[in-house]
Structure 1
C-alpha cells in the first residue's frame, strides 16, 4: 500500500522497522552512535535536541526576557518570551494583528543559531541514488525562475504546549517549556519541491528525500549529529512541499530560514528545514536522529522504542496574558485562535467559569485545514476573584480537545484544554 503523504506516523513506523533490521541507512551518523543515542532516549526520554532542560512547574510563566544569542531580529519582551535559543510569541501580542502572524511576532525555533546567508551566494545541491544522473545545483535565481506558488499554512513546534504537562497535569517533561506560542501562520511563496526534484532527474527508484540545513552542527549526549535534517517519503516531497523564499510578501528573513527553507504542511515543525542547502534523494530508506531517535513519544504508556510522532494536534489559545487581571462588571470581548493539522476547525466553545458552563464562540475566518480560525465571545464578569478561562475546539473529523493528554517524557503533542488563569478585580 503506498504511503499517505499526510500520514507522518505510518511513515515513521516503517522507517524504524527498516532501520532496526539494517535496511535503512543512517545518513551521516555512525550506526553505533545512533544506537547509543537511541538507548539514552528510550531509557530516559530526554534526548531533547535543542531543548532547555526539564520543564518544571511554573517554568514557562516565570521565564525572564533575555537576549537570544545568535538571532537577528529584535525580540522585545512585550512580543516574546525567551526560552534558551528560542523565542516564543506572547499570544496576547497577536490580538488585532489579522489572520497572518506578522514577521516581527513569528516565533523562533533554533537548534543552534541563525546563520547569515546571502541570497546571491546560496546554493542548493540535489543529489543521490534516486536521481537519473549526478548532482544538480540550483542558485537562488534558478529557483525563483521556476513557477511560484503560495500556501497559507501554520508551522508549529512539536513541543508547543509542553509546559502544561507540568502545570496542569503534574508530570515532568524535558525540553523547551513552551506555552502555546510556538506556532505561526504565514503566507509562504516559493517553488514546489516536486518541480525541483523533477528538474534534478528524480526517478521511480527514489524512496526518501532528505533535506539538510546550513546551520551549525548539533551535539547531543556526546554525539555529533551533524546539521539538522529529517527525511520525507518521496510521496510527500512530490505532493505539497514548498521551497519557500518569501514570507508574508517579504524575502524570507534569516531567523525564519532565509534565504530558502522547506515548508511541509501538516507535519511537525522540525520537518520544515530552515536554511536548506542540500537534498539527498535516496534509492533506499534514509534515517536521521530527527525522525526516529528524537521527536518520538517515550514513556510508560509506550513501547521501549517509543511511538512515532503524528501530524500536529488540536489546540486553542486566548489572546490574553496568562494571569491577567480583568475588571468586574465591565463588558469584555475575549478573543483567541484554534487550529488543527488534521482538518478545519469547525466549532469553538468557551467557558469563563472554569468549565462549568460553555458557550459557542463566533468564528471570524472560514475554517481551513492547515491554518487557524480566529474567534471571539463576549464576557461581563459578575463577581471578583480568581477564575479560569477555557477554550476547546472541534475539527471536521469530529475530534474535540480532551481534558488531559497522555503523558510522554519529552512533552510532545499536548492537545488538552488549557486552563487560562485570570483574576477579576
Structure 2
C-alpha cells in the first residue's frame, strides 16, 4: 500500500491489485479522518432516532435477528480519487495526493437500512437520514465525530446497507467494524464507518464533513469553505483509469494490452471506454467486462500500438446518461482536489 498518512491511516494499493471484479480486503483503500476507534461488538448499540415514531437501540445481534440479511456488491470511491492529477496542475496543500486507486469493490453483507427505518417509523416531514460514526476527527474545530447524510429517498432504496461483513469476512476495524453504512453510487464519505447513530431529519446533515469539507468549490474560492459554500458532493461522476501496465513502465514496442476500470455513480452504468496512443487523434474502443451489479465498476481491456520511445496513453469513458469524462485536469481543478474525472493518462516507454 502507498501510505499517505499514518494517523489517521490513509492508504491506497498498487494499480495491478484492482484487476479483479471484487477487491481483496487487504487491498481495499483506507480513508479515515481520525484514529480508528476502539469498538466492542458486545456493547455496541446503534441508535435510530430523530423524526421517527419508535426510536430504536439495536445491537449487531439484534440486527441479525430482526432483519433479513442482504449482500450487495458495490464499488466505493473516495471523492479525492485521482487528486494527484490535479496537484500536478497546481498544488493543493494539506490534502493527500491520492492516485487512481482510492476506489475498490466488495461484496457487503448486512441489513437494508430501509428495513430498519421501516421498523422505526419515519415521519411524513422527514427528508434526510444522517449517520454518525464513532471516530472523532481533530480536523473539525472543535473536534467532532465524522458524519454525513443522504436524502431519504436514497436511504429507502434496497441497495443501502448497514453492513458487518465484506467479502464474506467480518469487517476489519479499519473498515468500520462492527458496523458501517454502505451507500452505493455515492462518494465514499457517505458510507460512514463505525456508525452508532442513524438520525432521521428534515434537512441535510450540519456535520462539518458534509457542510464544510466534502464540497466542490470554484477554482478561485478560499480553501476553507464556510458551511454551505459550493456544491455538496453526493453521486460519483463518471470516471476511469488504467490498471495495467503500471505508470512509467517499459513495454515492448508494438501491440500492447492495457486494462483499466470505469465507474459511474447513482444507478448509471458504463457503456463505453476508448483508449488512444496518439494524443486523441484516433481511438480504440475497449472491450468491457461483465458488471457484478448495477452498483459496481466495470473493467475494460484494449490493445494499442505503442511506438518506440515515450508515449502517453489516454482513456475516456461514457456512462448510460451519455455523460463523458472531461478532457483535461485543468478543466476540473478545484482548491480541495475533488472529482478529478478528467481523461485517464498513462506514461509508457516502448523498447
Aligned to 1:211: 131
Q: Where do 5+ consecutive residues of structure 2 fail to align? A: none
Aligned to 1:373: 298
Aligned to 1:423: 349
For residues 213 and 14 of structure 2, the distance between their equivalents in structure 1, rounded to whole angstroms, comes to 27
Q: Is this contact kept in 2: 1:314–1:339, CA < 8 A?
A: yes
Aligned to 2:113: 193
- Is 1:249 matched with 2:174? no
Q: What TM-score, normalized by structure 1, do the two folds share?
A: 0.74
Aligned to 1:410: 336
Aligned to 2:24: 102
Q: Is this contact kept in 1: 2:270–2:319, CA < 8 A?
A: yes
Q: Is this contact kept in 1: 2:73–2:292, CA < 8 A?
A: no
1:65-99 per-residue CA deviation (whole Å, 9 max, x = no partner) reads xxxxxxxxxxxxxxx2111130112112223xx21
1 or 2, which has the higher helix percentage?
1
Shift of 1:302: 6.8
For residues 370 and 302 of structure 1, the distance between their equivalents in structure 2, rounded to whole angstroms, comes to 33
User: What's the secondary structure of 2:272's corresponding residue?
Assistant: strand
Q: Is this contact kept in 1: 2:242–2:344, CA < 8 A?
A: no
Q: What TM-score, normalized by structure 2, do the two folds share?
A: 0.89
User: What's the secondary structure of 1:154's corresponding residue?
Assistant: strand
Aligned to 1:33: none
For residues 361 and 378 of structure 1, the distance between their equivalents in structure 2, rounded to whole angstroms, comes to 8
Counterparts of residues 21-420 of structure 1 (less than 5 Å): 80-84=1-5, 85-95=9-19, 98-128=20-50, 130-133=51-54, 135-145=55-65, 146-167=67-88, 170-174=89-93, 175-215=95-135, 217-220=136-139, 223-240=141-158, 241-282=160-201, 286-300=205-219, 305-320=229-244, 321-329=246-254, 331-342=255-266, 343-366=268-291, 369-381=294-306, 383-404=307-328, 405-420=331-346
1:182-236 per-residue CA deviation (whole Å, 9 max, x = no partner) reads 0011111111112112223333233332211112x21236x12411011223222
For residues 108 and 300 of structure 1, the distance between their equivalents in structure 2, rounded to whole angstroms, comes to 27
1 or 2, which has the higher strand percentage?
2
For residues 420 and 132 of structure 1, the distance between their equivalents in structure 2, rounded to whole angstroms, comes to 54
* Equivalent residues, number: 336
For residues 276 and 158 of structure 1, the distance between their equivalents in structure 2, rounded to whole angstroms, comes to 20
1:143-183 per-residue CA deviation (whole Å, 9 max, x = no partner) reads 1121112221111111111111132xx22324111111100
For residues 333 and 311 of structure 1, the distance between their equivalents in structure 2, rounded to whole angstroms, comes to 31
Shift of 1:300: 4.1
Q: Is this contact kept in 1: 2:21–2:105, CA < 8 A?
A: yes
CA RMSD, Structure 1 to Structure 2 (Å) = 2.2
Q: Is this contact kept in 2: 1:344–1:368, CA < 8 A?
A: no
Q: Where do 5+ consecutive residues of structure 1 fail to align? A: 1-79
Q: 1:185 to 1:386 in 2, by over 3 A?
A: same
